[in-house]
Structure 1
Amino acid sequence: MKAARSYGPGDIRVEQIEEPVAGEGQVKVKIAWNGICGSDVHAFLTTVPKYLQGTTPDPLSGESLPVTLGHEFSGTIVSVGPGVDGQKWTVGQNIVVEPMISCMKSACPACSIGSRNLCPLNNFIGVGGWGGGLAEYIAVYTQYIHPLPNNVPLDVGACVEPLAVAWHAVKRSGFTKGQSALVLGAGPIGLFLLKVLQSFDRTALIIVSEPTVLRRQSATKQGATHVIDPKGSNVSERVMELTAGIGVDVAFDAAGVQVSIDAAIESVKIRGTVVNLASWEKLPVIDIHQLLLKEIYLTGTAAYDRVHPELLEALEAGKITGIEQLITRRVALEDVVEKGFLALLNDKDNQVKILIHP
């Protein structure tokens, strides 16, 4: 079968590899769509944690380069391996993969309480091995899959993994109906934050800050109350104008640059909450005096923690809509480098979510 495999930064090759067979406790899935993640793009440029390097095997998967990439994907079960519950998992069933893997040892402080996202060894299918979504098929253990509701199409299903990142962040923030929010950065995660916030409160004041025109337009189209161009306005001053000098209840930093975390801290109200979702290439300087004088809660979120079922229920119930409008390009696997990775690097201002179809 065809698969896009990483040989290290800057070296992704679409090549023929052996087609997998469903083993004990596994199902074989024909992959429909796979989204390219911002982390994938970073790993294409340079060394990124969790992405394999050289000949050192991943401690969980046991694999080393080359590995098949892709961790945001959906597909259809085409065969069921031995030991699989045939009543729950059937041929022809559409599924999404929750790709996080962890050590699952009782001595692990994170895994022992179920918070696999905080396991120090955690990794992802399609990052650290075990196949990936940038291939025609994958054999995956049933503990990592969820049924895709019948009314949710497979392309939207490929967006469930990053949507789960946003859902987890909103839950961790404590955001509730009647509160206000600021989202800094309207890339895929920022726009998914907007959609999740709306699912919690359709009438909430949600302000989005984004420097690129297409992504500001997307935020407006998706129902943001106000959209700010940080290159033309002082974000925190504008937020204070829009909130009668009070500030927002919660600010989400999905940009990961110094000016965004500064704006987040400056824009929240007294005892407001700042949530960082972004990965940082250079660690920021945090204004501790602002945290002290406003008693701000500052936290971060790592991927997701047992949120996929409730997120899928929200999608099925129609609480989250318009996700397909954020898919700006659909690309064949053969063109994944040129029209996928390089498009996100060289034409970022005109792309939101790119999906690959094996």
Structure 2
Amino acid sequence: MKAARLYGPGDIRVEQVEEPVAGKGQVKVKIAWNGICGSDIHAFLTTVPKYPQGTTPDPLSGESLPVTLGHEFSGTIISVGPGVDEHKWAVGQNIVVEPLVSCMKSSCPSCSSGSRNLCPIHNFIGIGGWGGGLAEYIAVDTQYIHALPNNIPLDVGACVEPLAVAWHSVKRSRFAKGQSALVLGAGPIGLFLLKVLLAFDPNALIIVSEPTVLRRQSAIKHGATHVIDPTHSNVEESVMKLTGGVGVDVAFDAAGVQATMVAAIESVRTRGTVANVAIWEKTAMIDINRLVMKEIFITGIASYDRIHPELLEALASGKITGVEQLITRKVAIEDVVEKGFLTLVNDKDTQVKILIHP
């Protein structure tokens, strides 16, 4: 079968690999769509954590480079392995994969306490190994799959994984109905955050700060109350004007640069929450005294952990709509590098989510 394999930074090859067979407790899935993630782009450009490095095997998967990429994917079950409940997982059923894998050892404080996304050696299907969504097929344990509701198409299903990051972020921030929010950065995760915030409160005051025109326009189209151009306006001053001098209840940093973290801290109200959703390339400098004087809660966001069922219910019930409008390009796997990865590197301002069809 065809698969897009990572050999190292700048080296992704579409090649023929052996087609998988569903083992015990597994289903074989014909992959429909796979979204290219920001972390995939980082791995294409440089070495980043979680992606295997050289010949050193991943401590969980035991695999080293090359690995098949793709962790945002949907597909259809085409066969089931021994020990699978065929009443629950039937051939022809559409599914999405929750790709986070952890050690699940009783000696692991995170796994044993129900926070497997914080396991020190956790990784993801399609990053650390185990196959991936940038291939024609995958064999995956049933513990990692979720049934895709009948009214949700497979292309939207491929957006469930990044939506899960946004859903987990909003829950961790303790955002509640009647509160206000600031989203810094209107890339894919920022726009998914906007969608989820509106699912929690359709009438919420949501301000989006984004330097590029097209992304600001997209934020307005998808329900932002106000947008700010941080290259021409002071974000903190603008937020204070829009909130009557109070500040927002929650600020989400989805950009991961010094300026956005400063803006988040300054724009949030006293005893408000700052949630960092971004992966940083450089260490942030935080004014601790501002946290002290405002008694700000600040939290990091690490992926998600078993929130897919409630997210899928929100999608099926129509609380989250218009996700398909955030899919800006669909590409065949043969063109994954030129029309997928390189497009997101060179033309990221006009693209939100690019899906690959293997």
Normalised by the size of structure 1, how large is the TM-score? 0.99
Where do residues 1-358 of structure 1 align in structure 2 (5 Å cutoff)? Answer: 1-358=1-358
Whichever residue aligns with residue 296 of structure 2, its letter is I
Per-residue deviation, 1:347? 0.5
Whichever residue aligns with residue 67 of structure 1, its letter is V
Structure 1 stretches of 4+ with a deviation exceeding 3 A read none
List alignment gaps of at least 5 residues for structure 2: none
Tell me the SS of whatever aligns to 2:238: helix
How many corresponding residue pairs? 358
CA distance in 2, matches of 1:200, 1:94: 26
Per-residue deviation, 1:272? 0.6
Per-residue deviation, 1:252? 0.2
CA distance in 2, matches of 1:303, 1:267: 24
Per-residue deviation, 1:305? 1.5
Tell me the SS of whatever aligns to 2:204: coil
Per-residue deviation, 1:34? 0.3
Tell me the SS of whatever aligns to 2:339: helix
Whichever residue aligns with residue 98 of structure 2, its letter is E
Tell me the SS of whatever aligns to 1:244: coil
Tell me the SS of whatever aligns to 1:199: helix
Q: Over aligned residue pairs, what C-alpha RMSD do you find?
A: 0.5
Tell me the SS of whatever aligns to 2:109: coil
CA distance in 2, matches of 1:260, 1:217: 19
Cα deviation digits, residues 99-153 of structure 1 (max 9, x gap): 0001010000011022110000000000000000000000000000000000001
Whichever residue aligns with residue 70 of structure 1, its letter is G
CA distance in 1, matches of 2:103, 2:187: 31
CA distance in 2, matches of 1:327, 1:217: 15
Cα deviation digits, residues 22-65 of structure 1 (max 9, x gap): 01000000000000000000010111000011111111111111
Whichever residue aligns with residue 276 of structure 2, its letter is N
Cα deviation digits, residues 74-123 of structure 1 (max 9, x gap): 00000000100011000000000000001010000011022110000000
Per-residue deviation, 1:214? 1.6
CA distance in 2, matches of 1:210, 1:133: 30
CA distance in 2, matches of 1:203, 1:221: 15
CA distance in 2, matches of 1:49, 1:134: 20
Percent identity, aligned pairs only, is 82
Whichever residue aligns with residue 199 of structure 2, its letter is S
CA distance in 2, matches of 1:84, 1:131: 20
CA distance in 2, matches of 1:125, 1:215: 30
Whichever residue aligns with residue 268 of structure 2, its letter is V
Tell me the SS of whatever aligns to 1:110: helix
CA distance in 2, matches of 1:2, 1:37: 20
CA distance in 2, matches of 1:15, 1:322: 34
